[in-house]
Chain A
């Protein structure tokens, strides 16, 4: 199976084609079966290939398959070729595994929606594109997946396209991503110019031979990596391009879970890990990555505090957690970034799917201030959401604890790390625990403030439901995936236990071959396990404090938040208004460009100046013609005069020159 791992690409592609082309005529059950079956098949192939890969010697864990030449012009060659190594193996397992669970969940969640087939076709297409992204053996195949997942994201955010905001959000996502892709493309051009190849292994070997150590100053490597990173800030929603992700919540909730939490948005982290041979030699860029990651983590966590929409809280939380992953990459701890990517995929997918089940039960009410006390009605959902919230809050023993802690430890101890970045990370950990438990308490605990939503469209089962009905737990297809993800959220951390708990970190050990070409700087000084444990203790304490503050503010003294927000009204308003970033972009970039294009370039320059010159020429010619035609007046006497005049002139001319 290992040698033919690439066939896993075919199932979701076929699924997307079948459902997309003839899904309209298929029964809903069959559509769901085809879509889920396709992803399950991919997952099984990936799992088999993974098992075979682990059976090989560590330095032999790499398989490439080339299917055909995609683009070739002179020395430039890009093949449709795929690579299976530990890094892509881990990624593809997450993508197809979590992807499968979310497909199953969607059967229940999307039940009775218009365009059921369309939804599943897009979702399968997404799995195909994401698989291309992580399995490609060169930058261009990655870019196909990179833009392909962007397209699926566009289509799925705009799924409820009758609503204006869905169309707006979809377009915004695509365009903001294109801004990142613009830089990404320039990075690719530069890679080809410098290394003569866009195939990973060729480029990495070339960089290894030409750069034995780190680059000094801001050189070509720093430029390449920075350009690629700008691409990552688009796809992975980092400052300054994160603005599309919160709006992307306009899509169906399972889409938010799959694309905008677990998989697509982590593509930037994967890309940096994949390019670790480049990044590890570009300290200037690494610093930028770490700082942008930390700043984004903090900014998004702050904004999350003020959100009232359950999905928006989770969206900003995702931006913030992605910031952690970039911190990991920025301090050279790529494996730690991938570890957090994995655990985050579990608990954040769970949180989104759990929130979806709440939203479903609440008839599409998403405002957490209109919920409260739902624990009574949705005990199962509450249970799994609690697990996920504990995991993201970093409570010891759960998956999020191990992965987040490793990042923080690396931020503190690695040669590229800095205590300041660690401190920022710890602060974000406290904020995370606070806003997540705020959400949990407001949704499931405390006073019942239930106001059902008004989801008007024909919702098969809901047609006959009354808005005063009690919220109900959804069916098995929704609950099943939640359970599996809950188990993963608890146990997922065990593959990456820290040094003070286990002798080997299995995930690190497994991923090592993928980072073969990376440059490893000398570590300065040994750090003791005691220090690592102590710092973990500090983080845990801060996290628990966050939970305690949320408990006090939203359960014990529900009037406290209001009092605080009144006292700090300026800051509070700024947070509520998301620091006005969208408004600033609108005022500084979008509106001026539009105004300039319309009033200056089009109306003044194109119509006025250029066309004015063209039509002006015509007018001048016409005026001359009008004057000249007066000579042709039809009077014989005037013609005779002209003839006489002409003859006289000719006569004068010849007599003058002949003399």
Chain B
């Protein structure tokens, strides 16, 4: 079923939803929401077919669609889509998070139609980034996604929304421009008929394309910066806390759950396979930044007075671990890092959803305004606890599998890195449990907290999938790891090839 156009279908469904929304009356809010939800759910259902139809034995792109798109002065851009073991679950993560976000957006009243359209457009952009193989198409989606996110923060955000939205936009646009420059330069060296990431990677690894080391260095750096800002890696992270705090709940969830993954996905898809030699050279610097991010993010998270900001800084810490794992260059660390991308989407996405639920009720997110909530909202306390445990990597839940593999792999590459990074294990327990204690335990503080209503059915329906997934991924990790094997092994092989001296000879000949 749908063979040959399944990816297009998944891409088109939210776009279709947005188109339908445009013709619906703006007053009928529940209709608007239901249509948007239906579009997202349909996309999710379709994306499940990707999983069932996925062949884990190959590292080749699957569900490939490749059609001519436009031609300009001999340059041919193609509509080329495909997924491999790395992007499969990122696509699924996106399609899973989106309906939950729509479901969690009932508090949005202002310009609902525009809001929902922005969400759906965002989904198209994000999906496109993960599935586009043609680099022009990739860049198009990369930029497309910026605008609805900018709108979400700038229109439906908090008090300092304009500042946060512009900061987010400028930060990422700076990265995008660097990437554009890098893409144009890369095109100069391209000898393959297409501008397809898979073909270019292949041509680079068998020497058909050779880029002088000096140029490769700058190209790597440009790509790396673009992705590092997105991750965000220390010290490019200061847009994140502002964006998170000001964004509406769904915006934060998408930001943390999916958007940040584009950075780490880019590192895995571009930086490592295209420029393995440079990646090897730059590894010490990048690993150091990643370790700083882990510890620094955790320490700064610990002292945040605002729960949402705390979660934002914890993201910096968690994403640092993912970057560290990617630059450990071995199978365990890379699979761990990819698994951790999904975990972070679930646990941090879940935390932002939870914070949003209490913000809807109390219109504050300051830890000091709460206390003893476990007595008033027992169900909320339980969900919050489980997601917290997932976030701090309790064995049996998803976080542990990713964290363990990443750290084990990092240890094999460099024990000292792993030792520093593993302090995150302690610190995450400190900042999360301390926050949990101040919000949920102890005596009920303040009259306003006494009146709070516990989670309703809709809210539990939003959280339940995440909790179940956290448990499932924590116990049956193989179902997620096996499809990654071949694709990740390919990246590892590419790095190993670059470690061998003869590949340097090829490089030097090219010069």
Contacts and interface: CB of A to CB of B under 8 A. Distances in A.
B437 interface: yes
B173 interface: no
Given A70-B475, A73-B481, A182-B425, A167 B441 contact: yes
B174 to A, nearest CB: 10
B437 A151 contact: no
A189 B415 contact: yes
Contacts of B411: 186, 189-190, 193
Contacts of A602: 300, 303-304
A70 B434 CA distance: 31
B37 interface: no
A562 interface: no
B395 A162 contact: no
Nearest to A618: B170
Contact of B442 (A71, A151, A162, A193): A162
A175 B434 CA distance: 10
Interface in A601-616: 601-602, 606, 610-611, 614
Given A147-B394, A611-B238, A71 B433 contact: no
A597 B418 contact: no
A174 B238 contact: no
Interface residues of B, number: 57
Contact of B300 (A140, A151, A189, A606): A606
A132 to B, nearest CB: 9
B252 to A, nearest CB: 19
A127 to B, nearest CB: 15
Contacts of A618: 170
A70 B482 CA distance: 12
Nearest to B305: A598
Describe B's contact surface by its main secondary structure.
helix
A452 interface: no
Interface string B265-300: 000000000000000000000000000000010011
Contact of A161 (B296, B303, B400, B441): B441
Contacts of B401: 71
A147 B395 contact: yes
A171 B433 contact: yes
A72 B408 contact: no
A147 B415 CA distance: 23
A382 to B, nearest CB: 36
A163 B375 CA distance: 12
B336 interface: yes
Interface string A149-175: 001001000100111101110110011
A69 interface: yes
Interface residues of A, number: 52
B404 interface: yes
B128 interface: no
B443 A72 contact: no
Interface string A589-633: 000011011100110001000110010001000000000000000
A349 to B, nearest CB: 27
A179 B395 CA distance: 16
B152 interface: no
Nearest to B393: A147
A144 interface: yes
Contact of B437 (A168, A185, A186, A596): A168
A74 interface: yes
B478 A69 contact: yes
A593 B419 CA distance: 19
Contact of A614 (B238, B408, B477): B238
A340 B5 CA distance: 68
A147 B302 CA distance: 22
Nearest to A166: B441
Q: Which 8 pairs across A and B sit closest by C-beta, in order of nearness?
A: A167-B441, A189-B411, A598-B303, A144-B395, A74-B331, A597-B299, A161-B441, A167-B437
12 contacts: A68-B478, A71-B404, A144-B396, A161-B374, A167-B441, A170-B437, A182-B422, A182-B426, A185-B422, A193-B412, A601-B300, A602-B300
